[in-house]
Amino acid sequence: MMNRILFACLFLALSTESSSLSCRWMDHKFRQHNEETLNLLDTMAKNATNTSEVEVTVAFPNHLYHQVSKSSAEDKLAFSVQILEEVAALFEEDHSAASWEDSTVRNFLNIVNKQAEELHSCTEE
């Protein structure tokens, strides 16, 4: 699961940074916040020591990412906002079985929610 989320975050970094929409926040803060989220994900992945659970394999929706890569800049941003909101929803669920520190998860969620909020405002400009 962490690998899929990491891939989604990397996709967001690439698609939103190449956007032609003028968005001051994206130009100045997105990269910084994206690096922070990737670092926090890496920390959580390293601390995920509970290997006794059977990992459920779900196919990654490559076709959706391929399809949106051909979309307009505004559609890419809207897709990115949706992905960030869904990632946040996943991490807001009960993660008591994970060996993550609560402060790390809270920091991750704060940054992901901030990114979604700010990118959403970029689509309204």
Query: So what's the pLDDT on residue 54?
Result: 56
pLDDT at 94: 76
Answer yes or no: is 16 within a domain: yes
Note whether residue 113 is domain-resident. Answer: yes
Residue 78, CA distances (Å) to 6, 40, 52 in order: 19, 24, 37
**Crossing angle of the two packed helices 62-69 and 2-17, in degrees rounded to 10:** 0
Taking only the tens place, the pLDDT of each residue in 16-46 is 544 545 577 777 787 788 888 888 888 888 8
Domain count across the chain:
1
Decide if 83 is inside a domain: yes
d(CA 10, CA 84): 12
The pLDDT of residue 4: 59
Please provide residue 7's backbone torsions phi and psi, each rounded to the nearest 5 degrees.
Answer: -60, -45
d(CA 26, CA 32): 10
Token reading at 67: 């399809």
**Splitting the chain (125 residues) into consecutive groups of 10 residues, what average pLDDT does each group show?**
57 52 71 85 75 65 84 85 90 79 90 90 75
Contact (CB, 8 A) for 9 and 37: yes
Q: How far is CA 81 from the centre of its chain?
A: 9
- Spatial contact of 52 and 77, defined as CB atoms under 8 Å apart: no
Cα 107 to Cα 110: distance, rounded to the nearest angstrom: 5
Place of tokens 């601390």: 47
- Structural domain boundaries, residue 103: 2-48+60-124
| pLDDT reported for residue 18 | 47
Q: Is residue 105 a part of any domain in this protein?
A: yes
